[in-house]
Amino acid sequence: MQSGMTGISQISRLVTAAAIVIAGGLALPSTARAEPPPKHVSGNTTIPVYSYAGAAREVVWVRSSVDSDGDGALDRIAVDIVRPVDPTQPDLKVPVIIEASPYYTCTNACGRGNELERKLYATTDPASPVSRMPLYYDNFFVPRGYAFLAVDLSGTGRSKGCADIGGPGEVLGAKAVVDWLNGKAKAFRADNTPVTAPWTNGKVGMIGKSWDGAIANAVAATGVPGLRTVVPISAVSSWYDWERLNAGLVAAVSSMDDLHLKVTGRPPAACAATRTTLQTAGAAVDHNAFWGQREPVAQAGNVQASVFAVHGMNDLNVKSSNFGRWWQQLAAHGVPRKVWLSQEGHVDPFDFRRAAWVQTLHRWFDQWLQDLDTGIMSEPMGSVERGADVWADSAVWPPTGTHNVVWSVRSGNGVTGELTTGAPQGGEAAVTDVAISEPNAAAAPEIGKAGRHVFLTAPLAADLHTAGAATVVLRIRSSVPSSALTVRLVDYGPRQRVNWELGSGITTLAPETCWGAQTPADDACYHETTKNVIATDTSVLSRAWLDTAHRKSLADPTPMPADTWETVVLRLHDTDQVIPAGHRLGLVVSLTDSTYTWKAATGGSVQIDLHRSLLRLPTAPA
């Protein structure tokens, strides 16, 4: 906007003159002059023109809307800022990239990125700005006309409040930072003097992996104005799904209280009440109000930002169902979006597809935060890793024409069942509840084993492409009121595969590459990685778990009536895989999973009614 205002009489004269000219059939010449682009814009891209060494570095505390530690004062959230300055452009206003994280200063084997970087400060003075920012975002983007803000989540680093693990304290604290950048919240310096952000245009993007990505999702789900895009990487969209497998079972991961202890920066007494909540409500196996506060997927209809999601299909920390349900809801609400799906586990794309990732992320942020037409929204929506460093693009994801194909389960030879697109047949199969590990359950499908039953296709006549979330429907009769139920889709056939069980699929190498400008205190160089590959005959493609007592409701468990047939439905984790011709697809049914759940085996048994059980497999065109 121009600083001056045109008088009303002058406007009237201009409008009258314009009307006369138009009435006379003459074209009205344009007098508007396009504002020249800032010097960091060249064509449809941003270029590094600002000094990283000369960037402004400061720390402010944004006042949240919640008092998560109950001390009578609203939380103050620490925000470390690195932003470009240019004496020739004193009115320069730039967009902002935020990563809100609990990991910036914790020392218990945590930090940011593959190399576990943490914030470093020049002095111990609370007002000391950051001298080393983790990761490369500031190094790469600040010279290109972006500010980068590293936000300590509530109760971590230099922030007040309490770490409530995806709860209102963390989410609304991070949201307040977006509000401050748009003039809707207050912030203060260390000496308590108010501070504003006149250097930003209010356009904000958020990025982060895992917990950080969960906060990006959750802030987007508040619908906060000014948040233009989020980039969630291996991100949680439901903490219940992460901790309880969305199935009433306890996953073999950290408890909510363990996470608090890992990252908290507050004295124990300050957050005793929060810990009590994490230890009680957060320990509940049943879905409750605590878990309901931590499910941005349920609020996806509020999202006003675009979303670029990245997830490992073999991520057994944040399972791909966290991506899949989020993606499904974003699609239902027409959110502009893009996705990368990799064969790795819990790994940042910077460490499995580095050059392409930085280039793509640059174009994504330029599109959504700099208002440049980079062409990225006209390109394929999906990019999927088929094998180690072999990627295939898809115009939309799941691919157009993907539909559910129903596979029946049959008795087979009595040891190994049959999985077929033919009509169902009668018969039953029995599975005894003994603890069995995933490798043992998936291996050697032709051999009978206690604790599992395998249904196997004939060798496939053509490649089979599945994309999305498969569903298994089982008609069962249980001898016990509650037991675990586990199903897996398995690809049987020799192949070189990413070995996600070793280092989540990558090995860190000695050589480094550099991605942005640097200072003596903050370089932009990171170790290269290589993919871990292995030749195997067996690959688990997707999984699902269920506590049979939660078959009807995650909030209100009901025991299985003895010797009564009931139907249960299991939604497997989202994936995109091609099973080659000649391989066999297996559906492995077991009960207690000793690898990924903590539920004890009951010693009971489950009967499966084969005539009324099936697999619905989302199948993409060949």
Residue 225 pLDDT grade (very low, low, confident, very high; cuts 50, 70, 90): very high
How does residue 253 score in pLDDT terms, banded at 50, 70 and 90? Answer: confident
Band (pLDDT 50/70/90 cuts) for residue 151 is: very high
Q: Average of pLDDT values for 287-300?
A: 97
| pLDDT mean over 550-555 | 96
282 in any annotated domain: yes
Same domain, 420 and 275: no
CATH of the domain at 413: 2.60.120.260
C-alpha distance across the termini of the chain, in Å = 53
Span 39-62, average pLDDT: 97
How many domains does the structure of the chain reveal? 2
Beta bridge mates, 436: 593
164 with 219, same domain: the answer is yes
The residue among 394, 421, 436 that closes a domain is: 394
Residue 9 lies in a domain: no
Residues 387 and 418 in one domain: no
Q: Are residues 255 and 380 in the same domain?
A: yes
Same domain, residue pair 275 and 145: yes
Mean pLDDT of 558-581: 96
* Residue 158, pLDDT above cutoff 80: yes
DSSP secondary structure string for all residues of 300-356:
GGG--SEEEEEEETT-SSS-THHHHHHHHHHHHTT--EEEEEESSSS--GGGTSHHH
Average pLDDT, the chain: 93
Model confidence at 20, pLDDT cuts 50, 70, 90, reads very low
Q: What is the pLDDT, as a whole number, of residue 328? A: 98
Which of 373, 394, 415 is at the close of a domain?
Answer: 394
Same domain, 440 and 546: yes
- pLDDT for 34 equals 61
If asked whether residues 179 and 267 sit together in one domain, one would say yes
Each residue of 375-406: pLDDT tens digit? Answer: 999 999 999 999 999 999 999 999 999 999 99
Residue 138 shares a structural domain with residue 170: yes
Does pLDDT of 567 surpass 90? yes
What is the average pLDDT across 492-506? 97
Q: What is the pLDDT of residue 37?
A: 83
Q: Which residues are identified as catalytic?
A: 210, 315, 346
- Do 380 and 424 lie in one domain? The reply is no
30 within domain boundaries:
no
Contacts of 515 (CB under 8 A, 6+ apart): 136, 139, 140, 354, 358, 524, 525, 526
Residue where a domain stops, chosen among 374, 394, 414 = 394
Does the pLDDT at position 1 exceed 60?
no
pLDDT 10s digits, 296-321: 999 999 999 999 999 999 999 999 99
Say what the pTM is: 0.93
pLDDT for res 33: 53
Looking at residues 533-545, what average pLDDT do you find?
98
Where residue 232 sits, what CATH number does that domain have?
3.40.50.1820
Statement to judge: residues 407 and 386 lie in one domain: no
In order of 209, 223, 228, 327, 598, the CA distances from 301 in angstroms are 22, 9, 15, 12, 34
Amino acid at 618: P
Residue 614 belongs to a domain: yes
Query: How many Å apart are CA 286 and CA 288, to the nearest integer?
Result: 6
**The domain containing residue 141 runs over which residues?**
45-394
- Considering the domain architecture, whether residues 184 and 311 belong to the same structural domain is answered as yes
* pLDDT surpasses 90 at 174: yes
Backbone angles phi, psi at 8, to 5 degrees: -65, -40
pLDDT in tens, 401-419: 999 999 999 999 989 999 9
Q: Is 23 part of any domain?
A: no
Shared domain for 350 and 492, answered yes or no, is no
Residue 346 included in any domain: yes
pLDDT at 352 over 50: yes
Whether residue 278 is contained in a domain is answered as yes
Task: Read off the pLDDT band of 36 (50, 70, 90).
Answer: confident
pLDDT at 29: 40
31 part of a folded domain: no
